[in-house]
């Protein structure tokens, strides 16, 4: 075991890779997910096709693919302000205006619609809720 692997084993319980599909080829997207499944401490929190799906699920259930511009318009309406990618206030905006439990439930519902054998075909879908559920466990610890 090299020194980096040894450090990772001691410093972290889990390692999460967070990404969305965007326009990456299906094989590349799937291979990234499959690689995390093979490694014990690695997990994927992905969205297909856009990360904004996770945000939108805080407000409504969406079970069909939409354009990035449609995500922006829907989020702008729900947030009552112009949606901007990488907005540092997004976490607080979702807490104040959205419903995280609803988002988790909607994300789980979407995943039940699909086979997990070919994630690139599962559109829209997200597993970001799985990471959020892990993080929520730490939020309540003192």
Mean pLDDT of the chain: 88
In this prediction, residue 1 carries a pLDDT of: 43
In this prediction, residue 7 carries a pLDDT of: 52
Domain boundaries, the chain: 3-139
Cis amide linkage into residue 61, ω under 30° from 0: no
Q: Record the tokens describing residue 135, joined without a space.
A: 């993080």
> Which residues lie closer than 8 Å to 108 by C-beta, 6 or more apart?
129
pLDDT tens digits along 75-114:
999 999 999 999 999 999 999 999 999 999 999 999 999 9
Q: How many residues in the chain?
A: 142
pLDDT tens digits along 52-68:
999 999 999 999 989 98
Q: How confident is the model at residue 51 (pLDDT cuts 50, 70, 90)?
A: very high
> Which residues lie closer than 8 Å to 115 by C-beta, 6 or more apart?
121, 122
């Amino acid at each position: 075991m090299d020194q980096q692997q040894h450090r990772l084993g001691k410093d972290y319980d889990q390692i999460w890779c967070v990404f969305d599909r965007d326009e990456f080829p299906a094989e590349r997207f799937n291979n990234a997910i499959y690689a995390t499944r093979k490694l014990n401490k690695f997990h994927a929190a992905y969205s297909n096709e856009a990360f904004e799906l996770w945000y939108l699920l805080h407000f409504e259930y969406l079970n069909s693919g939409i354009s990035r511009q449609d995500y922006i318009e829907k989020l702008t309406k729900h947030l009552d302000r112009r949606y901007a990618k990488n907005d540092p206030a997004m976490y607080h905006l979702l807490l104040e205006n959205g419903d995280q439990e609803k988002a988790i439930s909607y994300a789980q519902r979407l995943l039940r619609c699909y086979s997990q054998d070919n994630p690139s075909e599962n559109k829209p879908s997200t597993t970001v809720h799985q990471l959020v559920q892990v993080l929520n466990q730490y939020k309540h610890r003192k």
